[in-house]
């Protein structure tokens, strides 16, 4: 099976039992590289196509993930729905961050909605390692601050992205509700990967199997006979996790995360990780008209999230011509 790296602008779909997939190979051949499948709704509904769609899409090499349709109205009901969602998807080897589909208007206030959405996402992130939020424009305007903590999948069916947003600053953009894709009967939601699109590993997947907690010791114990040569750098491949990379070379996850200035739970396909040496000397860039955070991240070999953290940028990753920012 051949997996492909996903970059900004690549095509994806989100589906549920409303779609009939007749041929996943045709879906892939039509240029689709990732998909989201509806898993749950509220606390008592599981989409009947959840298992078949997920296994079908991933069997042809597509990156796949699950979303939950929100019915909660406060922190307590949000936590109950988060637990239901996690319980249904934890056994799957998904490679896209679980998503909260935040659409209904059942909150007493914007602050109540923000609090409940954070309760949901934080629980999912704690249990599975990651979470993002899917929102239409009106929800985004009401609780923008949540996008500084969780990836933002923007729902805005149009030929042009709206809301004053840029694709480079989003996890993904749902740009159509009436798309057509070979291998799927009828209308289907269409998406583009954003500049903050990322691949994850379900940290609960395979928990029934023994955890490789002793692996670093094993490799250390066998250094004299079967030492694996440590390269100076490593390019992340589809399905990699930082713990697996470090275990392979007998390295410390914390040390490599610190060396590369990254979150040890999130790495990206195509990312070049430094495996040797000390932390790099900081580099700075004077912003000129037309610069974007995503372009600077690519130019200097960092990430948008890193640049945002170093420079304390706002949730829209705003930079201004003439200012000097850290980029490495």
Residue 110 lies in a domain: yes
User: Closest Cα partner for 102 from 159, 150, 160?
Assistant: 150
Residue 91 lies in a domain: yes
pTM: 0.65
- Looking at the fold, whether 237 and 105 belong to one and the same domain comes out as no
pLDDT at 225: 38
2-31: average pLDDT: 91
pLDDT in tens, 184-225: 999 999 999 999 999 999 999 987 533 444 444 444 443 333
- Looking at the fold, whether 156 and 256 belong to one and the same domain comes out as no
Give the residues across from 66 on adjacent strands.
37
- Looking at the fold, whether 263 and 288 belong to one and the same domain comes out as no
- Looking at the fold, whether 77 and 161 belong to one and the same domain comes out as yes
Contact 280, 302 (CB under 8 A): no
- Looking at the fold, whether 290 and 322 belong to one and the same domain comes out as yes
pLDDT of 168 above 80: yes
Domain harbouring 316, CATH code = 3.10.350.10
Position 253 confidence tier, pLDDT thresholds 50, 70, 90: confident
Domain harbouring 184, CATH code = 3.20.20.80
- Looking at the fold, whether 74 and 189 belong to one and the same domain comes out as yes
Residue 231 belongs to domain spanning = 215-274
- Looking at the fold, whether 116 and 233 belong to one and the same domain comes out as no
pLDDT in tens, 282-292: 788 888 888 88
Residue 200 lies in a domain: no
Structural tokens at position 11 = 């095509």
Residue 242 lies in a domain: yes
- Looking at the fold, whether 150 and 33 belong to one and the same domain comes out as yes
CA separation for the pair 81, 72 (Å, rounded): 7
CA separation for the pair 32, 53 (Å, rounded): 14
Instruction: Give percent above pLDDT 90 in the chain.
Output: 59
- Looking at the fold, whether 92 and 152 belong to one and the same domain comes out as yes
How many domains does the chain contain in total? 3
Residue 198 lies in a domain: no
Position 281 confidence tier, pLDDT thresholds 50, 70, 90: low
CA separation for the pair 228, 231 (Å, rounded): 9
pLDDT in tens, 62-110: 999 999 999 999 999 999 999 999 999 999 999 999 999 999 988 999 9
- Looking at the fold, whether 269 and 294 belong to one and the same domain comes out as no
Residue 210 lies in a domain: no
Residue 2 lies in a domain: no
Contact 266, 198 (CB under 8 A): yes
- Looking at the fold, whether 182 and 150 belong to one and the same domain comes out as yes
Contact 195, 305 (CB under 8 A): no
pLDDT at 37: 98
pLDDT at 263: 62
Residue 202 lies in a domain: no
Instruction: Give percent above pLDDT 70 in the chain.
Output: 88
Ordered alpha helix ranges (H), 6-94: 24-29, 50-59, 75-89
- Looking at the fold, whether 128 and 270 belong to one and the same domain comes out as no
């Amino acid at each position: 099976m051949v997996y492909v790296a996903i970059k900004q602008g690549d095509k994806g779909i989100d589906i549920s039992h409303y779609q009939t997939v007749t041929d996943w190979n045709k879906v892939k051949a039509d240029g689709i590289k990732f998909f989201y499948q509806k898993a749950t709704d509220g606390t008592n509904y599981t989409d009947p196509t959840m298992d078949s769609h997920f296994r079908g899409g991933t069997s042809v090499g597509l990156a796949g993930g699950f979303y939950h349709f929100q019915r909660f109205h406060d922190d307590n009901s949000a936590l109950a729905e988060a637990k239901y969602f996690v319980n249904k998807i934890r056994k799957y080897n998904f490679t896209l961050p679980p998503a909260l589909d935040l659409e209904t208007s059942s909150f007493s206030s914007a602050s109540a909605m923000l609090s409940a959405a954070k309760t949901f996402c934080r629980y999912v992130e704690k249990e599975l390692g990651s979470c993002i939020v899917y929102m239409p424009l009106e929800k985004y305007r009401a609780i923008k601050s949540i996008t500084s903590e969780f990836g933002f999948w923007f729902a805005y069916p149009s030929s042009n992205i709206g809301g004053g947003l840029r694709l480079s600053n989003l996890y993904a953009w749902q740009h159509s509700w009436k798309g057509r894709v070979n291998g799927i009967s009828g209308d289907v939601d269409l998406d583009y990967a954003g500049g903050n699109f990322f691949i994850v590993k379900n940290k609960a997947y395979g928990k029934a199997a023994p955890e490789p907690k002793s692996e670093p010791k094993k490799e250390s114990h066998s250094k004299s006979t079967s030492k694996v040569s440590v390269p100076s750098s490593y390019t992340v491949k589809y399905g990699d996790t930082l713990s697996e990379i470090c275990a392979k070379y007998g390295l410390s996850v914390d040390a490599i995360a610190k060396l590369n200035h990254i979150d040890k739970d999130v790495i990206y396909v195509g990312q070049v990780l430094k495996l040797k040496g000390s932390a790099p000397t900081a580099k700075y860039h004077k912003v000129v008209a037309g610069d974007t955070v995503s372009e600077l991240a690519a130019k200097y070999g960092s990430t948008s999230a890193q640049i945002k953290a170093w420079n304390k940028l706002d949730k829209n990753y705003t930079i201004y011509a003439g200012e000097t920012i850290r980029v490495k």
